[in-house]
Structure 1
Amino acid sequence: MKNISPKYLYLGLIFIISPVLTTAQSESNTVYTCINQISENITAPVRIALDPKNNIYVSDVKQNRIIKYNTSGQLIKQIPLNFPPASIAVNKNEDLFIGDKNSGEIYKISSTGEISLFSNKCVSALSICFDSDEQMYVADGKQNGIIILDKNGNITGTLGKEVLTYPVCLFYDKRTNRILAGEHGGTGTGFTPECKIYVFDLQGNIINSFGSYGNNDGQFYRIQGITSGKCNNIYVSDPFQGTVSVFDKEYNFITKFGKFGNNPGELNMPLDIAFSEDEIIFVSSLNNGRIELFKAPENLPSSKIFDSDAVICPGDSTNIKIKLTGTPPWNFTYAVNGYAREEITSEDSIFTLKISEPGIYEIIKLSDNTNTGSCFTGSAVIKTPEILPSVSISSNDTLTCSEDTALIRFDFSGNAPWYFPLIYNDSAQTNIFTLNNPTFLPVTKKGTYEINKISDAFCTSANISETLTLSTQEKPYADFLYKNNNTEITFINTSENADSFLWDFGNGNISTEETPSPEFYSPGIYEISLTAKNKCGEDTVEKIVNITNSENNNCDRTFIKISPNPSKGTFILECNNSTRTKIFIEIISSSGKTVFSKFFYGKKIKEKINIENLPQGIYILKIKSSEFAGSLKLIIKR
């Protein structure tokens, strides 16, 4: 196909130009439908501006006037000027500002119709826009930059002088609070490679740039007009190609529309572009002397990230849900923290993206089978928590009786509520949800309890390893064996599950030793008992033992006396010691601890002993010398 490109365009002097033929590299997309034209009283339309009510202002450089139309394209009035208007803009107060092509001066026409000089600080006011604070930005091609003016028309700063050569169009993007500036691409018949859009923040920093010289997708022969429209897409007019290129809000090329020509719906030198609230696109066609009205496609493909914010633990993953509209298949690219990651193709209108990296996830590029444009909204903020959830498991009752209840304690870090599976003996699982820190859980089953993962308010799953083993203490079983070789008797303790013992030898002697060696003073039949104890109870066994022979002790039990017994802690100990040897007396508690000891001398012993400081209970009094040994049960009772 043939496109008609103009021979040259010099913005300092704008003329109606005879075109020449060039070969286009690609077809423009025709889904943007031309729905009407505005041509009444227009000769050479250059700039377009819309006021807050969507009234349309058109600058006509041949007639030196501004023509105002309503939203339906009906003529409202004409404003004659004594200079050719190079630029126009309307602020929030519906004041109209007009740049003089010859002098660079900017005039203000108030909403009441009063005309005044606003600023004479510019040399070439080719395009005007306002930011949200009503600061004015002026593309000054002769000063090679953007001039910033305050509400009184005084210069407060500049933008882009280090990179711009001939800026001709401006647009303030209120979504990002940035200024988009179109670098024209040349003057007269010359061409330069710097035919692109620069994106500045309000401090003058270059944030991005897009476009280049050429006639492929996303390229321009010249740039003349720029605006934003449906889905925050960016629209850029190329007067030499007679087309409007469409970029998404991340400045990726989507499509283009328009056709160079003179028939209705065709564009011959499209110098400016504007977008109304009802999504009508206005394009000024200089050489055709009219404004072409286009309608954006009703069903642009769109993507929306929804219900996907999450906090994940390191090593875990979550799903981001993306809703797609349009005609399948869809191709989209997502970014993390502004950096493109992966291009994905989907046939499904609801796509689930599984991710494991924290950051801000956004869709930055999208197209469907029609390739008509795109809308993408929403983002997913994926975070990792400052404090990861964890739990420690403990119990003061790691050894309990079989029928008793043990209390397990859980101590947490992280943010309530906590949720975790409690695994018993590698098989049974109980899911626990709690708001309390610490949390206590009574259990009756003994075995191994394990936690291998935990979730809290911000973390879906943290891997941990916590184990607690609870053991059962069985009741004791008492039993013993004995051997009698006539001269001595040996006892063998065969009890089970006991941690303490009490022997009663039937002769007044007792012992808490596990395997004692008692002394018997005379032969006879003795009833001997053994009591085995632990925290779960006690068990007693009694056996009749016949002592057939016994050595004659020098201190016969007939001559050992404790009185009173029981006592409150003070008693008299008497013993006849025929050998006059040294005697050692020791009192032992039921736990096996020595609580009193003393040596005595003499043939006949009679000693008062005071142990009232000891608690009541059963004690063993042991008497030992080099010639004999014996023990008696001592009872303190109050």
Structure 2
Amino acid sequence: MLTRISFLFLFIFFGFQTVFAQTPEVIVGWNMQGVSGNTPSAQAQFMVQGINTTESGLLTRGSGLVPQSLSNCFRASNWSLSPDPKDAILDSTFFEFTISPAPGYILNITEVNMTIRQTQTGPQFYELVSSTDNFQTEVFHGTVGNLPSSASTPVFFQSNPLSNVNSQVRFRLYGFAASSSAGRSQIQNDAASTNAPYDLAIKGYLDQDSTVVILCPSANFSGPGSICLGEPVSFNDQSTTPQGTNIINYMWSFGDGNNSTGQNPTHTFFQPGTFDVKLVVTNDDFCNDTIVNQVTVGSQLNVVFDPIPSTFCENDAEINLTADPPGGVFSVQLRKTQEPKFQEDQDPRK
């Protein structure tokens, strides 16, 4: 739940304790020079190395606000008329700005500074919250109240740092207690402001993330489930690895004492049975993954013919074939090697 505390700007500016020995620096900064007040969104003009520029530094409005045209600012009307900040949440009357550190970086945020201008009937109070606790409580101490109208006013929000932020953070500046829905408020460009050259700035420190994230591959391959003894068989690698990494090693074990380091090896089994074929892949993060598939190798099929008579009559002879081992599948093709010879008035069966 949002809470509201009114205080003087002098207290905001001087009444804080320095958390770090070094001076906070701008992590992300917006300059409203050249921005149209009714633009759907405004991109930051400055982001230090390590901020993900595809997702960061975006200034937008809540769905309850109505964009208003004016040069060199980011502007809106229809601010919440209620003096209760909880109603501002329901009314979605806020400016939102988003930042996100790139992988390998963490943010320590100490303050948010902005230059605000509003009309006389604009919001009387503002409150800054963040997505770190789903916009439930003020992350930055205090509520700004009774801003002078028609003048650019530097506003400073400070707190204990938001530390070790390694994912996207969204800030919302809620405005409420407006005396008219036509009242306007904007983040205004002002080269003379103490915030210059940025009209909205998030300050703190950007550090390398000491947490090491290892990206691992996923092993996979294709091949027949059953083959004949002595038949060469090919195994095809189908492994994947996360973007930005490469597979650098393949280790195959065929279960018969033989191995291979090729990506798509060919192997011949010389013993019948069921074998565990194992593939281990390793990427350049030195993370590995293993997969095991079984292959059944059938015994060699021997076909034994019963003694075949040297002569027999057409449709009057049997040839017996026996498979070893039993249960094998085979085919037989008989072909005529010479024309049959008959003696006149002589039965060849006699």
Please give the TM-score of this superposition, normalised by the length of structure 1.
0.25
- After TM superposition, the score normalised by the length of structure 2 is 0.40
Higher RCO, 1 vs 2 (CA within 8 Å, ≥6 residues apart):
2
By percentage of residues, which structure has more strand? 1
